[in-house]
Structure 1
Amino acid sequence: MENQVGTKSEMDLEINQLDLEQSRNEHFFALPNGISKWIAINILKGKEEKNIFIVYVMIDILLTTVPLAIALYALDGRVPDFFTSFLGLFYVLFNLFIHARSFILAFHYSTHTPIFNRKWNFLKHINTSILCNLFGMPLWTYYAHHIAMHHCENNVIPHDVSSTMPYQRDSKLEHLKYMLRYVFLIWFELPYHLIQQKRYKVATRCLVGTLIFFISIYYLFQLRPIATLFVFILPTTILSFALMEGNWKQHIFVDPDDPENIYKSTYTCINTSTNSLNFNDGYHIEHHENPGIPWHCLPKYFQSRIANYAEQDGFIFTNIGSGQVGRLVLNGQLEQLADRYLNVGQKIRTKEELVEEFKRRLQPIDPSRETEADFV
């Protein structure tokens, strides 16, 4: 049994100790303790006081990004275009590198599981109707795409129009084709899918939100072209690519013989500092298995489901995030990725056998093909 990777003896370790104990780093700055405690007691739902970190992200953006966007619109046409463009470039870089990842994941988990109590639940509209527009997601469309489509269909074609299944997932060209399809076609494919599934209310809200967003951008561009370019057009373009790149990397491994099995259509990343930056988004199998689990409970939930990984032959990677997993795959560095694989009872493989299994789960999947399971 030479050259085995991720041997079962690793089960004796505290395999996600880092994720259980590491501090939160999603927010730019926190509120004073007194204010934080008041919010946790009076505004947050139930006993989910750790959702204060989602509130921090919202407040950070309201106190930085929003004033910067207003300043851009106030200055456009009133000062030299060079100065407005310089401020606009700063705005885009600041928003992308400081807030984008944190907001997208905060928005993601608060969409799955409401964080405010009933009295204060109207505050959710800050994200769903206002801030989302600054991060490439037109109002009311994220729920339609992520909840009503992606989680209902679990990356399975044809009804998940953002599915990675039909693509050769270690190909950079296929990766680009996948992202381009989303950027240009999702505005039509998503409502069409929802109508096909008879989700008429969600489809209507999606269409109305998309129309409001693009009509507003067109109108604002006539009035303040430079500000609109930097506040809406560039972020929407850049983050549309980024959103689909994230989905590609999280669903880059799909077992062609069992593509509807959640344990074989994505993977989990543990013991990585990126989980402290993205609300534990590395626990993607757990999230798909039970989308209602609060983000801060995912590491413990993972520990309670370890036996499923052994039974289902699911992939776990340690000391690496999903972004790094995707980069290694797209760069053909599967041997390096194999060094990060963690075995908790799955089939024992040599490193060469594990790389071959990686390659098998990267192959495109024909939606019309039949498997042995179809005849059982």
Structure 2
Amino acid sequence: MKALTTITDPVYIPKENFSSYERFWLRYMNDKRDLPFIHLLTGIHLLVLPIAILLYTPVLQGWYWWIAYIPYFYFSQLYFKGRFGLMLHCISHRKLFKKNFTWIYHWIIWCVCPFFGHTPETYFVHHMAMHHVENNMHDDASSTLNYRRDSLRGFISYVTRFLFLGFRDTFMYLFTKKRKKFYMRLSYGEISFYLFCIGMCFVNLQATLWIFIIPFVFARIVMMLGNWAQHAFVDPENPEDNTINCINTKYNQICWNDGYHAVHHNRPALHYTEIPVEFMKNKDKYAADKILTFDGIHYLHIFVWLMTKRYDKLAANLVNVNNMFASDEEAIAVMQERTRKIPEPGIYTAHPEMKTSLNMTEA
């Protein structure tokens, strides 16, 4: 295990001199700390969207099409995908643009998201109207509780169900809760994407398959892999304690401190640059509750080591905050206990701040 040392994850460093391009966008933004999102979106509009349009034209044929698609795949599905997906997460919790300029947000949701496998509106609805409200408990359509979380077979079952029934499960949850505004947004976004792909197949089947359909499947698998790792360790005595923190990892540098998932579930409206400080403020409580914190690794490491049952590697990267574990063996025993199925729902209530956050971002 590791000792808790200096946090190297990104925090906001005040900037005095902005470029003319940044000053232009600051007029439309709510928070200057979100300027990195503008730079990210600029890169996407320069490198991803133009090539995607070119791939739909008859200009490129045969091997020339694939020569253009390979760098497109790299930028859209490897380089930008994680950054964009976690930016989408941030702007779902905190509005990026001022009220009079929400059309820019809708442009991102309806016109940019599909290039990264996100159907319009569905991420916001699933994440804000269900996942944060239910906190990975049994009513959550993406809950991990019914599965053995160090089992590859369990993960395949989990991700297969979500691919085929995730939309239905989310819709039925919202319908049962009588949240019409949300299940209508979910339905419009999901169904319009399917109809769009069907129509575009008649324009260019190959381009539609590789630009929209395959990235859609890829995105849902990646999101479920992330959710699986984030909610793999569930305290059977208190199932609400079911997520982790990953600190001092490059992933936090490029994906807006997404590794601090336990902090995020406790303070969902917190700006990503404030999260490392919030973690340090509450480290004693995390230690008392035995919330697991890993140093130098991220969710993919955790997923692979769970699937291969390498608890020794997990323990080697576990932060022993306040000496909450007496030995690696004790930590491993706790981790193994927390990956077992919890098939029966317990008595729980959603975190009050989560419901507050939902109300604040509903508009």
Please indicate, yes or no, whether the TM-score normalized by the shorter chain is above 0.5.
yes
Partner of residue 56, structure 2: 73
Conserved? CA contact 2:132–2:265, under 8 Å: yes
Offset, 1:95: 1.0
5+ residue gaps, structure 2, are 349-363
Partner of residue 43, structure 1: 28
Question: Is 2:191 the counterpart of 1:206?
Answer: no
CA distance in 1, matches of 2:67, 2:105: 33
Q: Judging changes above 3 Å, is the alpha-carbon distance between structure 1 residues 161 and 130 closer, same or farther for their aligned structure 2 residues?
A: same
Partner of residue 149, structure 1: 130
Question: Is 2:276 the counterpart of 1:276?
Answer: no
Moved beyond 4 Å, runs of 4+: 20-23, 368-371
Q: Please provide the CA RMSD for this pair.
A: 2.1
Which stretch of the first structure deviates more once superposed, 33-42 or 92-101?
A: 33-42
Conserved? CA contact 1:309–1:345, under 8 Å: no
Conserved? CA contact 1:20–1:300, under 8 Å: no
Offset, 1:298: 0.7
Q: Residues 87-106 of structure 1 correspond to what in structure 2 (within 5 A)? A: 87-106=68-87
Partner of residue 114, structure 2: 133
Report the 3-state secondary structure (helix = DSSP H, G, I; strand = E; otherwise coil) of the residue aligned with 1:19. Answer: coil
Partner of residue 301, structure 1: 278
1:347 aligned to 321, 324, 330, which one?
A: 324
CA distance in 1, matches of 2:22, 2:185: 35
Partner of residue 101, structure 2: 120
1:222 aligned to 192, 202, 211, which one?
A: 202
Q: Residues 1-376 of structure 1 correspond to what in structure 2 (within 5 A)? A: 5-6=1-2, 10=3, 13-14=5-6, 16=7, 18-20=8-10, 33-39=18-24, 41-45=26-30, 48-75=31-58, 79-157=60-138, 159-260=139-240, 264-345=241-322, 347-368=324-345
Amino acid at match of 1:51: D
Report the 3-state secondary structure (helix = DSSP H, G, I; strand = E; otherwise coil) of the residue aligned with 2:164. Answer: helix
Offset, 1:121: 3.0
Amino acid at match of 2:233: F
Conserved? CA contact 2:9–2:247, under 8 Å: yes
5+ residue gaps, structure 1, are 24-31, 372-376
CA offset digits 1:254-283 (Å, max 9, x no partner)? 1122112xxx20110111122101100011
Offset, 1:197: 1.3
CA distance in 1, matches of 2:342, 2:295: 27
Offset, 1:81: 3.9
Conserved? CA contact 1:255–1:361, under 8 Å: yes
Amino acid at match of 1:221: C
> Percent of pairs identical after alignment?
28
Amino acid at match of 1:217: C
Amino acid at match of 1:116: F
CA distance in 2, matches of 1:350, 1:192: 45
Conserved? CA contact 1:85–1:226, under 8 Å: no
Q: Judging changes above 3 Å, is the alpha-carbon distance between structure 1 residues 303 and 161 closer, same or farther for their aligned structure 2 residues?
A: same
Conserved? CA contact 2:12–2:274, under 8 Å: no
CA distance in 1, matches of 2:82, 2:231: 18
CA offset digits 1:302-355 (Å, max 9, x no partner)? 111112112212111112122212222222111111111112226332111111
CA distance in 2, matches of 1:369, 1:119: 44
Partner of residue 358, structure 2: none
Amino acid at match of 1:253: F
CA distance in 2, matches of 1:369, 1:141: 28
Offset, 1:362: 0.5
CA distance in 1, matches of 2:328, 2:12: 30
Q: Judging changes above 3 Å, is the alpha-carbon distance between structure 1 residues 185 and 293 closer, same or farther for their aligned structure 2 residues?
A: same
Report the 3-state secondary structure (helix = DSSP H, G, I; strand = E; otherwise coil) of the residue aligned with 1:187. Answer: helix
CA distance in 2, matches of 1:315, 1:21: 22
CA distance in 1, matches of 2:163, 2:283: 37
Amino acid at match of 1:129: W
